[in-house]
Amino acid sequence: MVSWGSKGMGKIIVLSSNTSFSLYNFRLPLMRELKKLGYRVVAVSPKESDYAEFLAKEFEFYPIRHLDRKGTNPIKDFLLFLEYLRLYKKLKPELVINFTIKPNIYSSIACGLLGIPSISVVTGLGYAFIKEFWLTKLVKSLYKIAFSFNKYIIFLNREDKEFLKHLAGEKAYLIESEGIDTNFFSPEQCQSIEKNEFTFLFVGRLLKDKGVYELVKAFEHLKQDYPRVKLVIVGDVDKGNPASLKEEELLSWKEQGLLKWFGFQKDVRPFYCMADCVVLPSYYREGIPRVLLEAMAMGKPIITTNSPGCKNVCLDGINGFLVQPKDIENLYLVMKRTIELAPEILKKMGQKGREIVEEKYEISKIISQYTRIIEEVLNFKTDHEK
């Protein structure tokens, strides 16, 4: 006999995203909490990595075959929509929560046509909104349709919420970031070591929009002034993404002695421990970059851009420094300034970053906001079914 939690009572909640990695890496605490509350949690995403198997060990998992993250083929997108439609007809979920652009659009529309409540979480505006072009107009039009079916549209930073408020209307809701486990990401994980070099660290997908080219060029200049400075890059190329760097470029920089490249890592904490400063010169339309929150939770000062999402967590001169997007000279000068700071000042900046995360972005605080909204939507549905 199955015993359900008093709140969930076995109700099905689907979480849909464009990769199994993003569900596991960013939404796992929420999924576990919902399961703990007695909900039947279902993960829906492509089966693009081992993370699909990790999800399947804890939750029901349904692979989506037609989701092309960066593709603009309308036939493929229509097949994706039909795939969602067939799956939700079969599952009959009480609620679907969508993350990332294509699930936000096509899964929300499928839910709307089936009368299933849905929530869209805008995790960032992404490539389509870096500059205005035909794709931007198309995405806005599709968002307008999809948002009309959602019960809530959750934004991860104020700038994105303001930018799309004309489409989201009263349904717009702000939850800043997807939270961080401050027990898992903690300075206590690091052992004190003596070293005679200053290490900058970049963690993330190796995309042009993340400012990787600007970082390498700024660092090349910096290394001429400070031979003992080191740049460590943790992350992988994103094959199939037109904005991705090529593996040959990384290997070339590595051979030149410009950087050390470690590829994707399941546990990035040892790399944060070795770093003196974490750099994310992104001009991608981020939500709230998880990398910056991880670095801050680990007690590390940060350098990032004065752009939506990034600037929300960096108080210039307090827990890190802000630079102008795509400005190589500005980035070089700020990295130079950081090297020249006294160790005690860097430590103080890192401690301030940790305090900010504990106050605003600790995972339990974020999850409680999600569960409150979820219960409100489900209770509203139940009341109207009586």
Placement of tokens 């903690």 in the chain: 186
For residue 331, the SS3 value is helix
Residue 119: C-alpha distances to residues 17, 82, 107, 197 (Å):
12, 19, 10, 47
Whole-model pTM: value is 0.88
d(CA 255, CA 145): 49
Which two tokens mark 177? 């970031």
d(CA 273, CA 282): 22
The fold for domain 187-361 equals Rossmann fold (3.40.50)
Q: What is the pLDDT of residues 89-127, one digit of tens each?
A: 999 999 999 999 999 999 999 999 999 999 999 997 765
Burial class (CB in 10 A: 0-12, 13-18, 19+), 289: buried
The predicted structure's pLDDT at residue 244 = 87
The one-character DSSP state at 177 is S
Same fold, 12-179+362-385 and 187-361: yes
d(CA 87, CA 94): 13
d(CA 45, CA 57): 15
The predicted structure's pLDDT at residue 166 = 92
Amino acid letter, 177:
S
Q: Where are the domains of the chain?
A: 12-179+362-385, 187-361
Placement of tokens 């960013």 in the chain: 26
d(CA 58, CA 315): 38
Question: Hey, which residues does 233 pair with through a beta bridge?
Answer: 202, 261
* DSSP H helical ranges for 13-73: 20-26, 28-36, 51-58
Percentage of the chain beyond pLDDT 70 is 93
Average pLDDT over residues 255-276: 94
For the domain made up of 12-179+362-385, the CATH class stated in words is alpha beta
Placement of tokens 């605080």 in the chain: 365
d(CA 217, CA 331): 9
The H or E element that residue 194 is part of is none
The neighbour count for residue 240, using CB atoms within 10 Å, is 11
Which DSSP string corresponds to 146-160? Answer: HHTT-SEEEESSHHH
Confidence of residue 386 (pLDDT cuts 50, 70, 90): very low
Average per-residue pLDDT in the chain?
91
66 backbone dihedrals φ, ψ, rounded to 5°: -105, 15
